[in-house]
Structure 1
Amino acid sequence: MATTLSPARRREQTQSLPDWISTRLAPPGILATQPTRDGVCTIWIAATDLRPTLAALKEDASTTLMLFDLTAIDERGRTHREGQPQAAFTVVYHLLSLTSRADELRIKVPLGAASPGLPTISDLWPNANWYEREVWDLFGIRFDNHPFLRRILTPPTWTGHPLRKDHHARATEMPPYSLTEDEEMHEQHALRFDPARWGMKRHSAHSDFMFLNLGPNHPSVHGVFRIVLQLEGERIVDAVPDIGFHHRGAEKMGERQSWHTYIPYTDRVDYLGGVMNNFPYVMAVETLAGITVPPRAQMIRVMLAELFRIASHLVFYGTMAQDVGQLSPVFYMFTDRERVFGIIEAICGFRMHPAWFRIGGVAMDLPAGWDGLVRAFINDLPKRLDEYDAMVMRNPIFRARTQGVGAYTTAEAVEWGVTGPGLRATGLAWDYRRHAPYACYDQLEFDIPTAANGDCFDRVAVHVAEIRQSLRILRQCVDNMPAGPIKAEHPLTCPPPKPRTMHDIETLIHHFLGVSWGPVIPAGEARCCIEATKGLNSYTLVSDGGTTSYRTRIRTPSFAHLQMIPLLSRGVMIADLIAILGSIDFVMADVDR
């Protein structure tokens, strides 16, 4: 039977991606092609070529091309930029094809120091809206014709742009904080709600409108988060999410901590994901340093990641049922979560934030009896999941509250950057563990659960099915755990084992320097991505050849997913919005970082 090739695949078989782009650019064409440690095709183009290039790429790849990330780099303090165009700032566009990993593409645009700016692409990809606001907020790079260019993560009264290299990184770098009476009045005035400033407008000439604050600490929003609702009667006319209450500068902290000491900070991003946050970070450092992780450490990492996936999904399952009025399930499911934490604590010594992955492997080997704990859990949980199916998924009230509510299509999901269970609920069987395998996932058997309608019910159903697939992966890890070391023998980044430091002074000094100062990572750039609990989570690291990261970029799934709230909420009742919020499965620290 003949196979129909997508436009992207046909192009891929005939010419390289840089060549294809070069034929569509005016002179001087592509400014540079940059080699990177992660192997992602990275090209530099001029600002004037940005929109035509991205528009042509999107048209060529149809709906399979996702704007995966959009960020910036302050280049002004960087030393190692060999082969790259002169730039004070660089704006980076990362595109991801859901058809082929070969179509992963990084486009960079160099900008000068004086009033840097680019045209918006929010009309090409709607999810660019928040990403461009974030770049404006943190770097001061404007985006012309953006529909709503205002601060998104910092307060409206904030001065400066925090991710610029000339902005302070610690409070100790600033004088003691003080607030005069006039300054306090200015701050209070900035908090006043003005619908026009929020982009809201009257939609009907004959109706009165009511504005309602949902949050910033409503119990259904799973964190400090605010949505300003514009209501006509009991129906939502418009909704504007207000994020940033959890923002604490995780990316800025990544540029002041050593490569080792930043690992615990990653745990606090998706704080329900535990070591799942360590995973892409240490993989990116290992890619920069050229480290090969031993097979036993790889499988231990996968086992811990899947345990945290189950723990996170159980929280989602119980709180989702609670959000729509069913109070009992959350208590049962949190009991199972406690059992997961018991296993994690036995292995790592900590529960929610073990910070247990290390550059080159894991912190320590598995303790005696670990396999019995895991086997007992994976044998018991399926029966309890069957009970929860009867209690929740087959409950007629739960079905009435979730089926047909908050639905979106695969095409809409791609446009808005939706990944993970939210994407698979639309019917697309796309999982990063299968399409771009990392660690030892290519050695494990598991299915990719999907649904068909992309509504609240289907998003829950996919989460539940993923718990069962994680149990399947865990069983394979227990049955096939390889022997061998749990950390790479890599003197650049991996300190010698502690007992060996007592043998000679050279080993002791090497251990001391590795732990206190951290390693010196060769200059370069690398990005690593994983299928996290809520979608795709990636870390992009830029090393300038020092003991700290020059630029740390964290791309989280929840930031992209919350952008869809206005689209999903217009025309629905407030009660339906609560169901929609619960089904998105977000964590506010994952949004704000």
Structure 2
Amino acid sequence: MDQTVVRSESIPKVRPAGSAPAPVQEVRDDVETLWVSRETAGDVLTRLKRSAPTRMMLFDITAIDERQRTHRAGQPDSDFTIVYHLMQFDRASKAPHREVRIKVALLMASLTMPSMVDIWPNANWYEREIFDLFGIHFSGHPDLRRILTPPTWTTHPLRKDHYARATEMKPYDLTEDREFAEQEALRFNPEAWGMQRRSANSDFMFLNLGPNHPSVHGVFRIVLQLEGEEIVEAVPDIGFHHRGAEKMGERQSWHSYIPYTDRIDYLGGVMNNFPYVMAVEQLAGITVPPRAEMIRVMLAELFRLASHLVFYGTMSQDVGQLSPVFYMFTDRERVFEIIEAICGFRMHPAWFRIGGVAADLPQGWDTLIRSFLDYLPKRLDEYEKLVMRNRLFKARTVGVGAYSLDEAIEWGITGPGLRACGLDWDYRRRHPYSCYDQLEFDIPVAQKGDCYDRVVVHIAEMRQSLRIIRQCLDQMPGGPVKADHPLTTPPPRAKTMHDIETLITHFLNVSWGPVIPAGEARACVEATKGLNSYYLVSDGGTMSYRTRIRTPSFAHLQMIPLISRGTYIADLIAIIGSIDFVMADVDR
């Protein structure tokens, strides 16, 4: 596949006067990509933000260890590369979607980069993640310390010279002295966490919410500074669930990594496979058959229903209602019955494949789905009375944890949390992928951006998912469910005995996986909790050179301090529930 050339005239004038033109990189996706120097990066990002006709979000920051990469033709010399991904959010529904990728080359002798926290506040955690996993220092950062690994960790796991498997290390040994040192490192120091005395006549009072509190939906800790029951400061502490998912992408073949993606947003199932396989398909130039595209969309929307039902039930439980969660989990089981009938598995089917899906739809699939489509709307009507009209539920959520649209953009909020602020922005509509451009659906919005409105948007999205699934049911095309492409579909086994070349091709595809052409590409989907993106770098091998997973939950938890200050502990429980996150999606 020919690489897409990003034209320099499509990028705004962001260079300082008198500077040399920024080199424009050829990429395999549709993201405008250019290199800038470390000295001008802050100015470039500021100008891009200010020159945007509407709101420009800092969507992601990541890094690449370039030291073992061989295919870098046309790119500046670099030992490590910082990558900024910007996304523009426009109110006009027909406005062209725009994304920009800014890259900065760093040499090993000077792994330092200016912090961008003063431009976008959500750069905070992304820069801490890069510092932790790559060892790149961000000057001017307000709180540069490890975020995903323990404070006693001494190496940087995403560097290429770091081991990828535990078998490459000596057996773990925990001596008494080391155990004491590890425990001492976990001792809480309020000043080191940025907490200060509020007034001359008050002192610190702390409360640990988590890491195993029922309301934190996983292994998550929030350290609260309190005055009475009022929250003065809240500092999230993540990383308890970190498993090195991006590192695993460097040791698995392109195909065998698919099941690992299921475990990121573990409530999203094949929704995790979606952006990964689409990014690989862009790198390889694979066109997915129409039937496979529609099957993917139908399964993705079924998992959106399953995930939203979990959110709906646990959110109502968090604020004191016990009955709804049992009813809603029963409905989720009905969704899983359909998913199991089609995929063979329930929560983690790993059913999408590079170039299509694992198998065709089974006999009777349409009857199962049609019955469910007739069943769920009536149940949602009942839940409307049971939960949303309940005066106690409304008292706990209306006006609580609100943020404005501008604040949402500044902090990288996407998905239902963004649409609850009144912006009808949905990636399925603004940058259609798969077959969403062939389907009719509305984009639910609310106005206040509080806990209650975030629930309202989730519920309305469930009804739209039912609408999308019905269209897939009625319009399902015929044809193959996997692309007829040598990098995704090996020759039929029956033909392998005809000649040695066919046998070798089949053997290599099955055992080692495909050799994906060198290049870079990203794919993004409107996942269950917001925008989920995979940015892949291929060096022309059977495994990914760099796998970057941008998840919505990581960005969303950063906003907890902003929307919880001045509230009460009980309000924080409602705020946490309304964010809709899972910790595997945060920590990866």
TM-score relative to the length of structure 1: 0.96
Aligned to 1:10: none
RMSD of aligned Cα (Å): 1.3
CA distance in 1, matches of 2:280, 2:583: 26
The alpha-carbon distance between structure 1 residues 527 and 25, as it changes in their structure 2 partners (threshold 3 A), is farther
1:103 aligns with 2:95: no
1:314 aligns with 2:309: yes
Aligned to 2:76: 85
1:27 aligns with 2:16: no
Aligned to 1:59: 50
Aligned to 1:221: 216
1:568 aligns with 2:563: yes
Q: Give 1:338 deviation, angstroms.
A: 0.2
- 2:12, 2:48 within 8 Å by CA — same for their partners in 1? no
Aligned to 2:366: 371
Q: Give 1:506 deviation, angstroms.
A: 4.7
SS of residue paired to 2:19: coil
Aligned to 1:485: 480
Structural mapping, 1:114-513, within 5 Å: 114-497=109-492, 501=496, 506-513=501-508
CA distance in 1, matches of 2:97, 2:577: 35
Match of 2:36 among 33, 38, 45: 45
TM-score relative to the length of structure 2: 0.96
Gaps of 5+ in 2: 1-7
Q: Give 1:53 deviation, angstroms.
A: 1.0
Aligned to 2:65: 74
CA distance in 1, matches of 2:451, 2:12: 43
CA distance in 1, matches of 2:342, 2:492: 18
CA distance in 2, matches of 1:493, 1:17: 34
The alpha-carbon distance between structure 1 residues 101 and 175, as it changes in their structure 2 partners (threshold 3 A), is farther
The alpha-carbon distance between structure 1 residues 36 and 25, as it changes in their structure 2 partners (threshold 3 A), is farther
Aligned to 1:4: none
CA distance in 2, matches of 1:504, 1:388: 62
Q: Give 1:26 deviation, angstroms.
A: 4.3
Aligned to 1:18: 11
CA distance in 2, matches of 1:551, 1:221: 31
- 1:63, 1:415 within 8 Å by CA — same for their partners in 2? no
* 1:7-33 CA-partner distances (Å, limit 9, x unpaired): xxxxxxxx93435224x3542341x11
* 1:271-327 CA-partner distances (Å, limit 9, x unpaired): 000000000000000000000000000000000000000000000000000000000
- 2:57, 2:409 within 8 Å by CA — same for their partners in 1? yes
- 1:63, 1:414 within 8 Å by CA — same for their partners in 2? no
CA distance in 1, matches of 2:497, 2:335: 37
Q: Which amino acid aligns with 2:55?
A: T
- 1:25, 1:49 within 8 Å by CA — same for their partners in 2? no
* 1:365-420 CA-partner distances (Å, limit 9, x unpaired): 00000000000001110000000000000111100100000001110000000000
CA distance in 2, matches of 1:343, 1:507: 37
Q: Give 1:201 deviation, angstroms.
A: 1.1
CA distance in 2, matches of 1:569, 1:500: 63
Q: Give 1:591 deviation, angstroms.
A: 0.2
SS of residue paired to 1:33: coil
Q: Give 1:560 deviation, angstroms.
A: 0.2
Q: Give 1:205 deviation, angstroms.
A: 1.2
Q: Which amino acid aligns with 2:478?
A: A
Q: Give 1:175 deviation, angstroms.
A: 1.0
CA distance in 2, matches of 1:494, 1:304: 21
CA distance in 1, matches of 2:289, 2:239: 39
Q: Give 1:60 deviation, angstroms.
A: 1.5
* 1:449-472 CA-partner distances (Å, limit 9, x unpaired): 000100000000000000000000
The alpha-carbon distance between structure 1 residues 289 and 396, as it changes in their structure 2 partners (threshold 3 A), is same
SS of residue paired to 1:343: helix
Q: Which amino acid aligns with 1:567?
A: L
The alpha-carbon distance between structure 1 residues 33 and 459, as it changes in their structure 2 partners (threshold 3 A), is same
Q: Give 1:511 deviation, angstroms.
A: 2.7
The alpha-carbon distance between structure 1 residues 570 and 62, as it changes in their structure 2 partners (threshold 3 A), is farther
Q: Give 1:474 deviation, angstroms.
A: 0.4
CA distance in 2, matches of 1:255, 1:189: 34
Aligned to 2:534: 539
- 1:260, 1:515 within 8 Å by CA — same for their partners in 2? no
SS of residue paired to 2:52: helix
Aligned to 1:7: none
SS of residue paired to 2:255: coil
Aligned to 1:36: 27
Q: Which amino acid aligns with 1:176?
A: P
Q: Which amino acid aligns with 2:13?
A: W
CA distance in 2, matches of 1:504, 1:450: 59
SS of residue paired to 2:108: coil
The alpha-carbon distance between structure 1 residues 49 and 29, as it changes in their structure 2 partners (threshold 3 A), is farther
SS of residue paired to 1:150: coil
CA distance in 2, matches of 1:27, 1:355: 49
Q: Percent identity?
A: 75
Q: Give 1:63 deviation, angstroms.
A: 5.5
Aligned to 2:4: none
- 1:267, 1:274 within 8 Å by CA — same for their partners in 2? yes
SS of residue paired to 1:296: helix
CA distance in 1, matches of 2:579, 2:12: 39
Q: Which amino acid aligns with 1:161?
A: H
Q: Give 1:44 deviation, angstroms.
A: 0.2
Q: Which amino acid aligns with 1:177?
A: Y
- 2:268, 2:303 within 8 Å by CA — same for their partners in 1? yes
Aligned to 2:3: none
CA distance in 1, matches of 2:248, 2:254: 11
CA distance in 1, matches of 2:200, 2:312: 42
Q: Which amino acid aligns with 1:243?
A: I
Q: Which amino acid aligns with 1:28?
A: A
The alpha-carbon distance between structure 1 residues 294 and 81, as it changes in their structure 2 partners (threshold 3 A), is same
Q: How many residues align?
A: 577
Q: Give 1:102 deviation, angstroms.
A: 4.6
Aligned to 1:94: 85
Q: Give 1:182 deviation, angstroms.
A: 1.5
Gaps of 5+ in 1: 1-14
Aligned to 2:5: none
Q: Which amino acid aligns with 1:69?
A: D
Q: Which amino acid aligns with 2:19?
A: P
CA distance in 2, matches of 1:534, 1:19: 32
- 1:268, 1:589 within 8 Å by CA — same for their partners in 2? yes
Q: Give 1:177 deviation, angstroms.
A: 1.0
CA distance in 2, matches of 1:295, 1:107: 34
CA distance in 1, matches of 2:497, 2:551: 42
Q: Which amino acid aligns with 2:52?
A: A
The farther-off stretch of 151-160 and 97-106 is: 97-106
